Structure 1
């Protein structure tokens, strides 16, 4: 072993094992915190843990579960586990008593193994229970027992129904028994930030790049579509997301990628005439915002057709799915997508204009 390789190896081990040690320490500190919670409530309230830590579209979709749990545990202290980056999505939810921004999976497992929680509902399976630093995967026994995994989960329903099943809240392959329309809880600071952007009065929001390439539509076709939208409709086009791979210089196109928090993105979407995008996090924000959605979808891995949405998008009451059975999103022809979008826009924009 060369000296350089030796240093690299032990540097890696140092970071890994100090991370694990910190995770265990933080787990026991959290146990003390929840002991104090029990003490403050006189031990009269059950502690209920809800675990849905990522991704932000999944957290938005799972929101109806918070309200359903409050009906099941009206007098309990409900704690939602989430990754720190997504804390704002849950922090203002009135059905949740506390948001626990976890350090990593090891911290969470250390805490749960103390038995401090009276009830645990895990709304995920092993691929969501992974810490790359600790190099561990943790399985959800309920998901394992019901054979729900990353390869077959859409065979069990939409995302809300899958999460409710992995959390042992509903029977296997059953529908969600309560209001399934996701809600957002935005604050004045989010509205003020968007006010400061000075957005045009009328605009369409687009989201053109997901975090999973098989869900994407080629950027050249997005550029072609946006140019066509700007030419044929009296609306600006606002792109949202983490980053953009588009090269558009036409007047009326506004690139907000990477400039907004998730709640601020939701507020921008809420103000739009409509949303056009992929099966991705922002489309779930659009569903929860009540904005009409045009969703480009295709076959995905083992699923030739699938429906991830609950609520009005899931029933296609407030959305149109643009897809061809068995065809991946990347292969959807431009003319096919344009015709589907034109049919929606020609109806909705005329109707919106007549109301204004």
Structure 2
């Protein structure tokens, strides 16, 4: 072994075991915290953990579960486990008593080994809970028993229904038994931020890049779509997301990528006339805010024809799912997408003229 390789090996081990030590320490501290919380509860009150730590579209899709659990346990103390990057999605939910910003799965495992919670509701698939630094998986026994994995989960319904099943809240392959429309809890600070952007009255929001390449549509076709929209309709076009891969020169286009928090992005989408995007987090924001959506979708891995949404998008009451049977999103042609968008925008123009 060379000296350089020896240094690399022990640097890796140092970071790994330092991380594990910190995670376990934080887990023991969390045990003490929740034991103190439990001591303050009445004997009839349950201390309930809900685990859905990522991704932000999944957390939005799972929001009705918080209301459903509250209906089952009106006086329960509900704690939602979430990664720090996504905490704002649950911070303002009135049905949740406390948001636990999880350091990693080893911290959670250390906490749960203390048997502090009266009930743990895991909204996680099998093979879906991994810490790359600890290099460990933490499995959900309900998902294992029901054989719900990252390879077959859409065989069990939409995301909300799947999460409710992995949490042992409903029988296998059952519809969600309560209000299934996801909600977003926007605050005055989010409205104030978006006010400062001075957006026009009529604009369309675009989200053009997901966190999973197979869901994406090529950048050159997005650019063609923007150019066509700008030349044909009287709408400003606003792109949101983490970053943009587009090269657009039209004055009708504005790039807000990387400038907004998740809920600020939600407020921008709420104000938009239309949302055009991918099967990704911002499309769940659009569903939750009631903005009409045009969602570019396709076959995804093992799932040839699926609908991840509940509520209005799930019933296709406020959305057009732009897809062709058996084709991945990247194979949708510009002309096909343009015609689907044109149908929606022309119909809107006709309604506006009549009124």
Instruction: Identify the TM-score tier after normalising by the shorter chain.
Output: over 0.9
| Corresponding residue for residue 130 of structure 1 | 130
| Corresponding residue for residue 64 of structure 1 | 64
- The two structures, once aligned, show a CA RMSD in angstroms of 1.1
| Corresponding residue for residue 35 of structure 1 | 35
- Greater shift after overlay, 15-24 or 43-52? 43-52
| Corresponding residue for residue 162 of structure 2 | 162
The separation in 2 between residues aligned to 1:219 and 1:18, in whole angstroms, is 41
Secondary structure of 2:227's counterpart equals helix
Question: Displacement of 1:74 after TM fit?
Answer: 0.7
| Corresponding residue for residue 305 of structure 2 | 305
C-alpha contact 2:128 2:139 (8 A) present in aligned 1: no
The separation in 2 between residues aligned to 1:42 and 1:145, in whole angstroms, is 33
Q: Does 1:98 align with 2:95?
A: no
Question: Displacement of 1:354 after TM fit?
Answer: 5.9
| Corresponding residue for residue 190 of structure 1 | 190
1:37-60 Cα distance to aligned partner (Å, 9 max, x none): 112224442100000000000000
| Corresponding residue for residue 23 of structure 1 | 23
Give the 5 Å matches for 1:140-159. Answer: 140-159=140-159
- Greater shift after overlay, 43-52 or 300-309? 43-52
Change (3 A) 1:354 1:240: farther
| Corresponding residue for residue 3 of structure 1 | 3
Question: Displacement of 1:350 after TM fit?
Answer: 4.1
In structure 2, list runs of 5 or more residues that go unmatched.
Answer: none
1:262-301 Cα distance to aligned partner (Å, 9 max, x none): 0010000000001001000000000000000000111111
1:205-259 Cα distance to aligned partner (Å, 9 max, x none): 0001111111111111100001101111100000001111100010110001111
| Corresponding residue for residue 221 of structure 1 | 221
Secondary structure of 1:316's counterpart equals coil
The separation in 2 between residues aligned to 1:132 and 1:80, in whole angstroms, is 22
Secondary structure of 1:109's counterpart equals helix
Q: TM-score, normalised by structure 1?
A: 0.98
Secondary structure of 1:128's counterpart equals coil
Aligned length: 355
Question: Displacement of 1:7 after TM fit?
Answer: 1.0
The separation in 2 between residues aligned to 1:74 and 1:48, in whole angstroms, is 12
- Greater shift after overlay, 119-128 or 156-165? 119-128
| Corresponding residue for residue 14 of structure 2 | 14
| Corresponding residue for residue 341 of structure 1 | 341
1:123-155 Cα distance to aligned partner (Å, 9 max, x none): 012443100000001111100111110111100
C-alpha contact 1:209 1:278 (8 A) present in aligned 2: yes
The separation in 1 between residues aligned to 2:207 and 2:354, in whole angstroms, is 27
1:150-180 Cα distance to aligned partner (Å, 9 max, x none): 1111000000000000000000000000000
Question: Displacement of 1:352 after TM fit?
Answer: 4.8
The separation in 2 between residues aligned to 1:257 and 1:173, in whole angstroms, is 38
The separation in 1 between residues aligned to 2:352 and 2:23, in whole angstroms, is 53
C-alpha contact 1:126 1:137 (8 A) present in aligned 2: no
Q: TM-score, normalised by structure 2?
A: 0.98
C-alpha contact 1:292 1:319 (8 A) present in aligned 2: yes
